Copies of this chain bind each other. A is one copy, B any other.
Amino acid sequence: MDRNEIISCRKEANNHLVNELLPFWVTRIKDEKNGGFITHFDEKGNDTGEDEKSLIAQTRSIFTLSSAHRAGYGEGRLAELAAHGMDYLIDKMWDKEHGGFYWMTDRSGKVKNDQKIIYGHSFAIYSLSEYTLATGDERGRHYAEAVFDLLQKYCVDTMYGGYWEMFHRDWQLCGPGSQGGDRKTLDVHMHLMEAFTTLYELTGLEVHRRKLLEIIELLLTRIIHPEYKTGIPQFFRNWSVAPQIKFDIIWGWDRFSEDGQKGHATDNTCYGHNAEFAWLLLHALDILKVDPGDYTEILRIIFDHTADNGIDQEYGGVFVEGPHSGGVYDREKEFWQQAEVLIGMLDGCLMFGSEKYWKAYVNVHRFVFDKVINKGVGEWYPLLSRQGVPIWTHMSHSWKINYHTVRAMVQSIQRLDKLTET
């Protein structure tokens, strides 16, 4: 690892965060008329006018602003904006009758989809905890704990462990198949680990610690591949692998065939999730004050799988997905996978001092700065061809928003600083 190269990457990242990313959001996110955040922007950064506010986009924006404030950016402006988002989230999205947050409102705050979706609630816990850690405003803790309690009451499968993920407004479990009521996913359980980590960081409560330790064990023994340690996307109730299907409620970018099936539906893993899982696990262990030594082997296997299979040595960047045993199915480039692999590879460098992970980091860093960032606008293109030509060009909508991009820069800068200290 060349010290000058580290410093140069750090400079680039800091410049992007301070002069491009954060200004992109600070100048456009506030909905002055209706409260909350505007979250739909086109390639030029103009509001597309789409009449929706999603639970994910509102909570992730609160996380982004709060975490950047806690990391020392924004001179107070980010905390003010986060508080503005909190007002909307509590006033318009909290279900005063049944508890929990609605999945979707229109811009004015009228409920468009009243389902209780655990993916969104994981971000509620994560973001509201971060908000209180950043600002001291106890509203965040109050609602984060309330959501945690609702999850424990309504969502745990007390037979096979883990959490059910899709509910109606009154917390009745949704039906099977595309309604999602009979499936469990890597995605939700990984984000619950992320959420419980920050909740425990905030509260220090034993019950939050216990549930965090339990979900870590669940991820390690049920959800990642027993041999390759790669994430398996979907399961049936008893943790047998389920062929990946498209749910009625979506929150991401997975592309399916017209019948809702996925190619390689039972042998598919995603590099961005794997790297994200690894660094979130390391972060959880740090907050728990648990020695990461016992996890060294697993983490090395995951980082190696990512570096060996997920990185495009020819055009740069991170591929979408491939088989557990190695290789690639989908060679396009999704923005969020670049973001998560940046952080993961830096954790690999810090933990193992490995030149391989540093090369992987630099590869992805260059791809992001040369191809993914929409220069002069400041945010990232969501999807690019293998060669780095934008396929989708909007800067934000309900699922994209700012959490991966801003977090990648905040977290990378902290890790690059540590690398220069070593």
Contacts from A to B (Cβ < 8 Å): 149, 152-154, 156-163, 170-173, 206-207, 210-211, 214-215, 217-218, 221
Verify B172–A206 contact, CB threshold 8 A: yes
User: A210–B173 contact, CB under 8 A?
Assistant: yes
Q: Is the CB of A218 within 8 A of B153?
A: no
Chain B residues positioned under 8 Å from A160 (CB to CB): 161
| A395 CB to nearest B CB, Å | 38
Report whether B207 and A159 are in contact in the complex, using a CB–CB cutoff of 8 Å: no
A307 CB to closest chain B CB (Å) equals 30
Q: In the complex, are the beta carbons of A158 and B214 less than 8 A apart?
A: yes
State whether A162 touches B153 (Cβ < 8 A): no
Given contacts A153-B152, A153-B153, is CB(A158)–CB(B207) below 8 Å? no
Q: Is the CB of A207 within 8 A of B171?
A: yes
Contacting residues, chain B, for A218 (C-beta < 8 A): 158-159
State whether A156 touches B156 (Cβ < 8 A). Answer: yes
Q: Report yes or no: B171 in contact with A211, Cβ–Cβ below 8 A.
A: no
Instruction: Check B215–A158 contact: CB distance below 8 A.
Output: yes
Q: Are A156 and B154 in contact (CB under 8 A)?
A: no
Question: Do B153 and A161 have beta carbons less than 8 Å apart?
Answer: no
**Residue of A158, A161, A173, A221 contacting most chain B CB atoms (<10 Å):** A158
Q: How far is the CA of A374 from the CA of B156 in the complex (A)?
A: 47
Do A207 and B153 touch (CB < 8 A)? yes
Rounded to whole Å, the gap between the CB of A154 and the closest CB of chain B is 6
Are B156 and A152 interface neighbours, CB within 8 A? yes
Collect the chain B residues with CB atoms within 8 Å of residue A215's CB: 158-159
Query: Which residues on the B side are within 8 Å of A152 (C-beta)?
Result: 152-154, 156
Kindly state the separation between the CA atoms of A221 and B160 in the bound complex, as whole angstroms. 11
A59 CB → nearest B CB, Å: 22
24 pairs of residues in contact across A and B, judged by CB atoms under 8 Å = A149-B149, A152-B152, A152-B154, A152-B156, A153-B153, A153-B207, A157-B161, A157-B214, A158-B163, A158-B211, A158-B214, A158-B215, A159-B161, A159-B214, A159-B215, A159-B221, A160-B161, A161-B161, A170-B206, A171-B206, A171-B207, A172-B207, A173-B206, A173-B210
CB-defined contacts of A171 to chain B, threshold 8 Å: 206-207
**A211: min CB distance to chain B, Å:** 6
A217 touches B161 (CB 8 A): no
Query: How far in angstroms is the closest Cβ of chain B from A101?
Result: 18
Of A149, A153, A215, chain B has the most CB atoms within 10 Å of the CB of A153
Considering only CB atoms, which chain B residue lies closest to A218 in the complex? B159
A158-B161 in contact given A173-B210, A206-B172, A210-B173 (Cβ < 8 Å): yes
Nearest 4 interchain pairs by C-beta: A159-B214, A152-B153, A158-B214, A172-B206
Cβ contacts under 8 Å, A170 to chain B: 206
CA distance A21 to B206 in the complex (A): 46
Q: How far is the CB of A238 from chain B (nearest CB, A)?
A: 10
6 new A-B contacts, CB < 8 A, other than A153-B207, A159-B215, A172-B207, are A152-B156, A157-B161, A157-B214, A158-B215, A171-B206, A173-B206
Docked Cα-Cα span, A240 to B211, in Å, equals 21
A157 proximity list for chain B (CB < 8 A): 161, 214
Complex alpha-carbon distance, A108 and B207, angstroms: 32
Residues of B within 8 A of A207 (CB): 153-154, 171-172
**A153 and B149 contact, Cβ closer than 8 Å, known pairs A171-B207, A206-B172, A206-B173:** yes
Q: Which of B159, B206, B217 contacts A159 (CB 8 A)?
A: B217
Q: Look across to chain B and name the residue whose beta carbon is closest to the beta carbon of A170.
A: B206
Residue of B nearest to A154 (CB): B207
Known A206-B173, A207-B171, A210-B173; judge A162-B158 contact (CB<8 A): yes
